[in-house]
């Protein structure tokens, strides 16, 4: 040990502990790069040579197998910083700077604490005092070089990955239903049962338009869904379990099912506490997107349509509150109606009148945002009724064809579900036969193995019996779903669609779903008396003045005001209370004006009623 090193070590340092920090980046390096680990442990002898006794040398090796890029998950490094900040460390030993930290923030924080507590730092090249400018400058340069080294290594690896991904040749773990063949090409899973399950999932979502409804359909039919084990002793095995909502969303958002190769759909972002979070990127920011790179279960257009339906079914957020999914309320144009004055999407408010919910459409976003009067409010009962009549007129000519298509689709779905259940029975039969063959091949005298194989065989037989019973029970239920009377009822609906629409037993949510098949938007203004409807893919149509006035007038003629007693109150105070309770406003003046007893007369009340 050179003389300069001994001059830096003082008695105050020797009275405190020496901390030897040992780290390897991965567990593989711990087992394969054993010489590096031995060299790190050998630094103990340097501490002894500098004057520290054996019992004052503390070895911190709990971070073996941890990366030095961050201090978030390194328990040993966090303990080292704590001991140094408490003034218990006389010297910190590390084979090189990269062992302590590969992050400038963590490294310079340690240097600052060591300088404040008068702790030394020792590596393979020498001993340093962070309180001295030259030593601290050299240690800072070493820390920067260590971080730059990690950056260069990552850049080289990431550059090779990106270059291969741009050609679509990067092998990424495929989702369930896609596998790599012997030539390294991505193909459909050869298991027909897996293929049928995925096709049924996409078909069910297409017909229901909801991920949760897809899960309910699989559960109702008693169908299981495949998944591939990614880690552990059973890595690569195919497992079958109930379909989950998160799994459906993950499949619907995965473009690989549409035959596209994608890379860079997300990236890692470092948080304030040093941890990393995954941020999903929009499609235009993906690193690589190559449509048609491999076989798929649906077309790229169908994939985009599924994403659009998922966005529409999501909770309405944002400035426009774009079409929220159909809910249970009676407001027929919920999520569809636009303000004819400012173009904002209108919201819904309900009022209870005579034991019935009546909708009211309000354009209040700007009013809430800037504390101003609302743009307009339109009672929705009359408009909904008028729009419903227009829908009946538009749908009646094609209702017969639609009903026949619905009947065929329902029957095909039941048949597809029955085929999948038969596949489950076949798989259970195969597993039971395989367990029987294993049991028959074992030596009867080897009871330890024979008993285990016999128990496995019995378990497979029980699973087979349960699968067969569930299949038969579900098949009987499916036969009850579409009886002859029900088929006749479906056909009768085709010629009597108006009765179906006006039937009080028809759920409001189903009415909304039907109207969304035809209408894109509805825009109207109560003051200007006009109404415009935009059809799905047909452009828009302005209703004629008479029908528009009829719709708006119907909206204004709500039962509460048409049925109320219009006899004059006996006092102006009662008149004011009555008008203000019913939220009437003066015909002239601002919207926020309120009637007062000093200005209220019967003639003014009649004017207010007429203005409403």
Q: Is residue 169 part of a domain?
A: no
The pLDDT of residue 4 is 61
Boundary-marking domain end, from 314, 344, 365: 314
Which pTM was predicted?
0.54
Considering the domain architecture, whether residues 385 and 438 belong to the same structural domain is answered as yes
Considering the domain architecture, whether residues 41 and 179 belong to the same structural domain is answered as no
Asked whether 611 and 556 are in contact (CB, 8 A), the reply is: no
The pLDDT of residue 366 is 75
**First-to-last C-alpha distance (Å) of the chain:** 98
- Any idea what DSSP says for residue 415? H
Closest by alpha carbon to 558, among 413, 415, 438, 380? 380
Exposed e or buried b for every residue in 224-245, given b needs 16+ CB within 10 A? Answer: bbbbbeeeeeeeeeeeeeebee
Choice among 25, 146, 210, 548 that is catalytic: 25
CA 398 to chain centre: 38
What strands, in cross-sheet order, belong to the sheet with 337-339? 337-339, 519-525, 530-535, 539-542
| CATH code at position 74 | 3.40.50.1390
CA 341 to chain centre: 35
Asked whether 442 and 450 are in contact (CB, 8 A), the reply is: yes
Considering the domain architecture, whether residues 400 and 496 belong to the same structural domain is answered as yes
What span, in angstroms and rounded, lies between the C-alpha atoms of 287 and 264? 5
The pLDDT of residue 504 is 76
Q: Is residue 170 part of a domain?
A: no
What's the Cα-to-Cα distance from 11 to each of 81, 121, 227, rounded to whole Å? Answer: 22, 16, 64
Q: Is residue 35 part of a domain?
A: yes
Boundary-marking domain end, from 557, 580, 603: 557
Q: What is the pLDDT of residues 167-193, one digit of tens each?
A: 888 888 899 999 998 888 899 998 888
For 142, how many CA atoms within 13 A lie in the half-sphere containing its CB? 24
What span, in angstroms and rounded, lies between the C-alpha atoms of 57 and 45? 10
Considering the domain architecture, whether residues 75 and 206 belong to the same structural domain is answered as no
What span, in angstroms and rounded, lies between the C-alpha atoms of 393 and 565? 36
Q: Name residues of the chain where pLDDT drops below 70.
A: 1-6, 274, 314-328, 369-371, 393-408, 410, 478-497, 517-521, 524-612
- Beta bridge partners, 338, equal 345, 523
The pLDDT of residue 154 is 86
The pairing of beta strand 120-122 with beta strand 127-128:
antiparallel
| CATH code at position 271 | 3.90.1750.20
Considering the domain architecture, whether residues 606 and 532 belong to the same structural domain is answered as no
Q: What are phi and psi of 347, to 5 degrees?
A: -100, 175
Task: Output the CA angle 88-89-91, nearest 5 degrees.
Answer: 165
Tokens at 87, concatenated: 């003034």
What span, in angstroms and rounded, lies between the C-alpha atoms of 38 and 422? 61
The pairing of beta strand 17-24 with beta strand 57-64:
parallel
Structural domains counted in the chain: 4
Considering the domain architecture, whether residues 112 and 142 belong to the same structural domain is answered as yes
Q: What is the pLDDT of residues 104-127, one digit of tens each?
A: 888 889 999 999 999 999 988 889
Residues 6+ apart with CB under 8 A from 429: 464
In three-state form (DSSP H/G/I as H, E/B as E, the rest C), the secondary structure along 481-500 is HCCHHHHHHHHHHHHCHHHH
Considering the domain architecture, whether residues 512 and 602 belong to the same structural domain is answered as no
- Write down the residue that tokens 């096709």 correspond to: 199
25 catalytically annotated: yes
Considering the domain architecture, whether residues 154 and 183 belong to the same structural domain is answered as no
CA 160 to chain centre: 30
What span, in angstroms and rounded, lies between the C-alpha atoms of 91 and 20? 9
Residues 6+ apart with CB under 8 A from 372: 366
Q: Is residue 167 part of a domain?
A: no
Asked whether 526 and 555 are in contact (CB, 8 A), the reply is: yes
Rg of the chain's alpha carbons, rounded to an integer?
37
Q: Is the dihedral of CA 23, 26, 31, 34 positive or negative?
A: negative
The pLDDT of residue 102 is 83
What span, in angstroms and rounded, lies between the C-alpha atoms of 517 and 589? 42
Q: Say whether 242 sits in a helix, a strand or coil.
A: strand
Domain span at residue 248?
Answer: 175-314
Boundary-marking domain end, from 314, 335, 360: 314
Q: Is residue 193 part of a domain?
A: yes
């Amino acid at each position: 040990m050179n003389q300069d090193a001994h001059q830096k070590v003082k008695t105050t340092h020797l009275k405190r502990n020496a901390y030897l920090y040992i780290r390897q980046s991965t567990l593989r390096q711990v087992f394969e790069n054993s010489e590096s680990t031995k060299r790190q442990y050998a630094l103990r002898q340097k501490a002894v040579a500098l004057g520290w006794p054996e019992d004052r040398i503390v070895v911190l090796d709990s971070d073996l197998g941890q990366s030095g890029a961050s201090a978030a998950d390194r328990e040993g490094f966090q303990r080292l910083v704590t001991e140094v900040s408490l003034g218990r460390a006389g010297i910190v030993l590390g084979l090189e700077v990269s062992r302590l930290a590969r992050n400038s923030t963590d490294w310079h924080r340690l240097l600052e604490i060591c300088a404040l507590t008068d702790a030394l730092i020792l590596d393979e090249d020498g001993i340093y005092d962070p309180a001295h400018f030259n030593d601290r400058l050299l240690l800072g340069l070493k820390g920067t070089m260590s971080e730059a080294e990690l950056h260069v290594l990552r850049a080289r690896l990431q550059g090779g990955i990106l270059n291969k991904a741009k050609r679509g040749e990067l092998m990424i773990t495929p989702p369930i239903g896609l596998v790599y063949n012997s030539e390294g090409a991505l193909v459909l899973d050869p298991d027909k049962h897996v293929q049928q399950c995925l096709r049924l999932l996409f078909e069910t979502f297409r017909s229901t338009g909801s991920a949760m409804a897809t899960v309910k359909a699989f559960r109702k039919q008693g169908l299981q869904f495949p998944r591939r084990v990614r880690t552990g002793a059973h890595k690569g095995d195919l497992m079958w379990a109930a379909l989950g909502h998160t799994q459906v969303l993950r499949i619907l958002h995965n473009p690989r099912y549409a035959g596209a190769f994608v890379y860079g759909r997300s990236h890692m972002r470092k948080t304030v506490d040093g941890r990393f979070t995954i941020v999903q990127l929009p499609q235009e920011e993906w690193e690589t997107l190559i449509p048609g790179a491999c076989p798929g279960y649906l077309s790229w257009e169908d994939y985009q349509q599924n994403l659009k339906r998922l966005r529409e079914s999501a909770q309405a957020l944002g400035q426009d509150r774009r079409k929220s999914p159909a809910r249970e309320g009676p407001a027929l144009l919920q999520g569809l109606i636009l303000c004819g004055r400012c173009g904002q999407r209108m919201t819904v408010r309900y009022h209870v009148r005579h034991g019935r919910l009546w909708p009211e459409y309000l354009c209040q976003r700007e009013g809430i945002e800037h504390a101003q009067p609302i743009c307009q409010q339109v009672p929705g009962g009359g408009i909904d009724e008028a729009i419903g009549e227009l829908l009946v007129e538009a749908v009646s000519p094609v209702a017969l064809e639609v009903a026949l298509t619905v009947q065929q689709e329902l029957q095909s779905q039941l048949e597809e579900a029955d085929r999948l259940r038969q596949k489950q029975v076949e798989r259970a039969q195969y597993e039971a036969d395989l367990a029987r063959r294993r049991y028959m091949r074992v030596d009867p005298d080897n009871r330890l193995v024979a008993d285990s194989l016999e128990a496995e065989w019995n378990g497979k037989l029980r699973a087979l019996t349960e699968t067969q019973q569930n299949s038969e029970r579900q098949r009987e239920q499916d036969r009850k779903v579409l009886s002859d009377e029900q088929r006749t009822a479906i056909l009768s609906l085709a010629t009597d669609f108006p009765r179906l629409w006006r039937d009080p037993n028809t759920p409001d949510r189903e009415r909304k779903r039907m109207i969304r098949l035809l209408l894109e938007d509805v825009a109207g203004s109560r003051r200007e008396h006009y109404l415009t409807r935009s059809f799905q893919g047909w452009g828009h149509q302005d209703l004629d003045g008479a029908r528009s006035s009829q719709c708006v007038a119907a909206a204004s003629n709500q039962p509460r005001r048409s049925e109320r007693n219009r006899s004059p109150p006996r006092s102006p105070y009662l008149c004011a209370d009555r008008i203000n309770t019913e939220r009437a406003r003066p015909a002239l003046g601002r919207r926020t004006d309120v009637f007062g007893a000093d200005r209220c007369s019967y003639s003014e009340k009649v004017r207010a009623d007429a203005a409403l």
